[in-house]
Amino acid sequence: MPKPKIGDIWRYPYLWKREALDGEEAGRKLRPTALAAIVPVSQKSTRLYLLPITGTEPFADQNALKIPATEIRRAGLSEYKRLWVIMDEYNRDELETSFYFEPHAEIGSFSKAFVQVMAGRFAEAIRARKTQEVKRTE
């Protein structure tokens, strides 16, 4: 399995917060997600923080980052015309024991410059407590 890196795009059964609150345990479909953070917890445990990528225009009050056309192509998402990374929720999973993170589902990756913007916005949302976590490790 390729070692995941921040800024990589993976197909993942993302579980939206609203679905989790309704009692659902699995995402309804595979969707592109961006790895926003990777945190080694121990030698046997690595936490993954995944942000959903969507083609649905976000609401005005949503924290979302529009993906430029060059980044869409670079990330291997050319089938989509417009995309956003949603910042106000994320899935947290564990690489080594995940039932959802597939080892060969990598699509592509964003540029270093875009990753810095995305990671900065995500860190800011975490600090301001303006993002919600959906744990996928249980």
What pLDDT does 16 receive? 95
Q: Is residue 23 assigned to a domain?
A: yes
pLDDT over 90, % of the chain: 88
Decide if pLDDT at 138 tops 80: no
DSSP-assigned beta bridge partners for residue 10: 33, 106
Across 6-12, average pLDDT: 96
Q: Is residue 2 assigned to a domain?
A: no
Q: Is residue 86 assigned to a domain?
A: yes
Q: Is residue 30 assigned to a domain?
A: yes
What pLDDT does 2 receive? 65
Q: Is residue 3 assigned to a domain?
A: no
User: What is the per-residue pLDDT across 13-63, written as a single tens digit (0 to 9) for each?
Assistant: 999 999 999 999 889 999 999 999 999 999 999 999 999 999 999 999 999
pLDDT over 70, % of the chain: 98
The two tokens of residue 80 are 């989509």
Tell me the helices (H) and strands (E) count for the chain, helix number first.
Answer: 3, 8
Instruction: Name the strand (E) or helix (H) holding 18.
Output: helix 17-21
Residue 79: band (very low, low, confident or very high) from pLDDT cuts 50, 70, 90: confident
Q: Is residue 50 assigned to a domain?
A: yes
Q: How far apart are CA 127 and CA 80, in angstroms?
A: 31
What pLDDT does 3 receive? 82
Name the nearest CA neighbour of 85 among 111, 46, 121, 60: 121
Decide if pLDDT at 1 tops 90: no
Q: Is residue 124 assigned to a domain?
A: yes
Instruction: Name the strand (E) or helix (H) holding 42.
Output: strand 31-42
The number of distinct structural domains making up the chain is: 1
What pLDDT does 132 receive? 94
Structural domain harbouring 73: 8-135
Residue 80: band (very low, low, confident or very high) from pLDDT cuts 50, 70, 90: confident
Sign of the Cα torsion 94, 114, 132, 14 reads negative
Q: Is residue 129 assigned to a domain?
A: yes
Q: Is 123 helix (H, G, I), strand (E, B) or coil?
A: helix
Q: Torsion over CA of 58, 85, 61 and 55, rounded to 10 degrees?
A: 0
